[in-house]
Structure 1
């Protein structure tokens, strides 16, 4: 599936197996920086074969309509480093019309406003093109920068999920944040 969103500073697109080495470079380069925010990864995760498999899994997930993973690169250097991902996971249709949001940024590109920019475009896509009603983000209370990004984009706190996800070997609480599609709020 070809999907590409352009913003002022970024290109957000679905990658294919030809980008596996770039994806591998991203996870290797950010191994330590992302470790405290992600599940524990075994050594296989940091191999080209596993990154290819993950890209294939992403394509199957998209074909089934269950999720989308977009990779970010700088608009000025589209063939350069991949600098982050945004994922819409667990897309559920029917009465729910909802998904979970996930994202991560390259350590060398944090605090530049890129994720806020990327998420604003992905949110518009989720609401306008996918016709979703609700986007949910679950964020550890100690992840202040991530909480600020979601708050800046209009997400509201809906509560605290205790021991919600096992992150870096520890069951972590997460703040449940939600953004509703404004065109659906009166329906």
Structure 2
């Protein structure tokens, strides 16, 4: 399995428990900014032990093929995490699909980093992992995320009412999808 992917400006790397301090630094730096887009977090979430355990769990999910997750760094500062992208709930068999999650550091928004990183991860998902669908669920009020996903070629399949509990409130989400059309060609 590939542990690192590269783009023009970025390093996308799979990490394990040895990166707990770097991940925790990212999470704490972005605590207030990310709160509006994520589940309600307890104080325990912002501890070393909590993230050490999460990274260990994610390592096993990545090895088993249930998840693919990379942490984003710039090539100029490879020790500083500025975001993450995860392909979660990977289902094989007839489905060949996953859910996409991503987040970026508040201090590097609007620099094109997430677009650059997502293009690389999508390419990896379709061409190396053989996935057929990537699904992203986005709150209608998150216009920046909607614009990003639409610009990448995702299309809307519908609205899921009260789909996820975000920061303590059940939020509607727009169900966005990208398909790997190369896998849809029958090989008869």
TM-score (norm. length: structure 1): 0.97
Partner of 1:88: 87
DSSP-derived class of the 2:94 partner: coil
Alignment of 1:126-137 (within 5 A): 126-137=125-136
Alignment of 1:132-143 (within 5 A): 132-143=131-142
The structural deviation recorded for 1:185 is 2.9
Partner of 2:69: 69
Q: Which runs of 5+ in 2 are unaligned?
A: none
Paired with 1:50 and 1:2, the residues of 2 have a C-alpha distance of: 26
Q: Which runs of 5+ in 1 are unaligned?
A: none
The structural deviation recorded for 1:182 is 2.3
Paired with 2:185 and 2:174, the residues of 1 have a C-alpha distance of: 26
Partner of 1:125: 124
Paired with 2:116 and 2:76, the residues of 1 have a C-alpha distance of: 15
Alignment of 1:6-155 (within 5 A): 6-79=6-79, 81-155=80-154
The structural deviation recorded for 1:39 is 0.1
Paired with 2:151 and 2:2, the residues of 1 have a C-alpha distance of: 29
Q: Extract structure 1 runs of 4+ deviating beyond 6 A.
A: none
Paired with 2:55 and 2:2, the residues of 1 have a C-alpha distance of: 13
The structural deviation recorded for 1:63 is 1.6
Aligned length: 186
For each residue in 1:90-145, what CA deviation from the matched residue of structure 2 results, as whole angstroms up to 9, or x when unmatched?
Answer: 00000000000000000001111000000000000000010000000000000000
Paired with 2:11 and 2:173, the residues of 1 have a C-alpha distance of: 29
Partner of 2:5: 5
